[in-house]
Amino acid sequence: MDVRVKDIRKEFSHLPALENLSLNIRSGELIALLGPSGSGKTTLLRLIAGLESPTRGTIYFGEDDASSKTVQERNIGFVFQHYALFRHMTVLDNVAFGLTIRPAARRPAKAEIRRRALDLLDLVQLSGLEKRYPAQLSGGQRQRVALARAMAVEPNVLLLDEPFGALDAQVRKELRRWLREIHDRTGHTTVFVTHDQDEALELADRVVVMSKGRIEQVGTPDEIYDEPNSPFVYGFIGQSN
């Protein structure tokens, strides 16, 4: 689904975390929010999710003003670095969770929920591990389960906040490529937060470079890399060159 962020300002205790921020996310796009710590990436993600309300401005889901919609009504899939799996539940039950807590009228039958969860485990290449518990998985496998769990509700938007941040460099690299493949197969509108320029440039359709609560530049990885439009973007991207 298209998500339009229009003229957003967000203050915490009268201090602006986001200022004058507008961004159009197209349906099916994979967007990376890239910037140093404190630049406002997570705040923007939380506003899209409905976990925070803007001080000013509007967020639209399709044509609809999302202001009055709850997190559930926005139908968001989350993967956060520290948004852990449920330890007492099997992998299968973790993936199925978002469907099992739906109100009865919108909840698929048990067998259907199981089939969907198994299909998703197949998609994230974890078939056969459905009976395991999170403690019996590697860090990379856990984040794959987390992604399957987020996708189970067929979200309007997938929000990924440094999902690979806690993993070692080699696993991060593998998951990066893998996430791009999954995205190409499922086509979810996805917003991915990272402070790692390589990750953003390799993964995203478009990169949004942020600094101090503002957008410095929006462009394809090639545009950002070849034509940085400010000393900040040049310096930030340049760190990896």
Cβ distance to ligand ADP smaller for residue 23 or 96: 23
Tokens 């925070």, located at residue? 52
Cβ distance to ligand ADP smaller for residue 35 or 155: 35
The CB-of-16 to ligand ADP minimum distance in angstroms stands at: 8
Cβ distance to ligand ADP smaller for residue 12 or 86: 12
Alpha carbon distance 223, 234 (integer Å): 11
The CB-of-116 to ligand ADP minimum distance in angstroms stands at: 32
Cβ distance to ligand ADP smaller for residue 149 or 195: 195
DSSP string, 104-164: GGGPPPHHHHHHHHHHHHHHTT-TT-TT--GGGS-HHHHHHHHHHHHHTT--SEEEEESTT
Is the separation of the CB atoms in 153 and 98 below 8 Å?
yes
The CB-of-48 to ligand ADP minimum distance in angstroms stands at: 12
Cβ distance to ligand ADP smaller for residue 114 or 214: 214
The CB-of-38 to ligand ADP minimum distance in angstroms stands at: 4
Please choose, from the candidates 226, 173, 160, the residue with its C-alpha nearest in 3D space to the C-alpha of residue 202: 173
Nearby residues of 124 by Cβ (< 8 Å), 6 or more positions away? 144, 145, 147, 148, 182
In angstroms, the first-to-last Cα distance of the chain is: 34
The CB-of-159 to ligand ADP minimum distance in angstroms stands at: 12
Q: Which residues bind ligand ADP (CB under 6 A)?
A: 12, 17, 35, 37-43
